[in-house]
Every structure is written in C-alpha cells, then in structure tokens.
C-alpha cells in the first residue's frame, strides 16, 4: 500500500472511532487531533476520560510497538494510554492499562494490558466521566 493510501486508511479509522465516541458516548465535541501532523507524540484524537487514544488500522498487528507509542504519548501529557486497533473483517478492539493498578510502576507495561471490545470500553469510559 502506498503512503497516501495508508494515511487515508488511518485517517478513515480515526474518523470512525470519533464517530463511535460521539454516537455511543454522546460526547459531541470529541474529534481528531489535527496537531498530530505537525508535532510528534500528540495522540490521534482528543483526550477521552483521562485516556489519550492512539488509533491503528493495519493489516499486521504490532501491538507491543503500538502500545509503546501510545504509552509514550500519553505519559508526556499526564494521561493513560489507550490503543484502539482495527482487525480487518473482525472489527476494532482496545488495549487499556491494567484496571486497578493505580500508580504502580508497572501499571502501563504491555504485559499488564487488557484487550477489550467496544462495549466494555464504553462502560469504562462512562464510569470515568
């Protein structure tokens, strides 16, 4: 896939996630972070209930590296990482830090992430709003 097609595919997924947040959670002001293109480590969307979402839409999963990127971006902003990733023909999923880990030094380590679906993510976000 060419660079332009790959970027468009990523942008389309970011827009779809933002649409889901607006429709499912009723947060009408939620949108893509357009500053991400001029500044590194910004996150793909607006912060969401203490999380900084990073969206990935790729043919091959690379969860460990994506989590590292999401974690770095979120920690720079004082937020928790949230990795949203799309699996072709299966739908999207999310990785979140270990619930209940609090401020433990390992709380955002990849080994302690939880892989959840949209319904559980919506529940967690609603609890935090």
pTM: 0.89
Question: For residue 78, what are the contacts with CB-CB under 8 A and spacing of at least 6?
Answer: none
pLDDT of 41: 58
pLDDT of 103: 78
Residue 89 pLDDT class (50, 70, 90 cuts): confident
By CB atoms closer than 10 A (0-12, 13-18, 19+), residue 80 is buried
As a whole number, mean pLDDT of residues 48-73 equals 95
3-state secondary structure of 12: helix
As a whole number, mean pLDDT of residues 96-111 equals 87
* Distances from the Cα of 122 to the Cα of 14, 32, 109, angstroms: 16, 18, 22
As a whole number, mean pLDDT of residues 84-107 equals 89
Span 35-45, pLDDT tens digits? 554 455 567 89
Task: State the chain's maximal CA–CA distance in angstroms.
Answer: 41
Span 20-33, pLDDT tens digits? 999 999 999 999 87
């Amino acid at each position: 896939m060419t660079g332009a097609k790959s970027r468009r595919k990523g942008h389309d997924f970011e827009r779809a996630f933002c649409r889901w947040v607006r429709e499912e959670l009723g947060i009408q002001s939620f949108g893509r972070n357009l500053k991400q293109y001029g500044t590194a480590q910004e996150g793909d969307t607006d912060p969401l209930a203490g999380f900084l979402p990073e969206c990935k839409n790729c043919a091959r999963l690379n969860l460990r590296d994506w989590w590292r990127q999401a974690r770095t971006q979120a920690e720079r902003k004082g937020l928790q990482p949230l990795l949203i990733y799309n699996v072709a023909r299966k739908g999207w999923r999310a990785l979140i830090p270990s619930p209940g880990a609090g401020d433990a030094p390992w709380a955002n380590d990849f080994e302690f992430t939880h892989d959840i679906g949209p319904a559980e993510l919506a529940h967690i976000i609603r609890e935090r709003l």
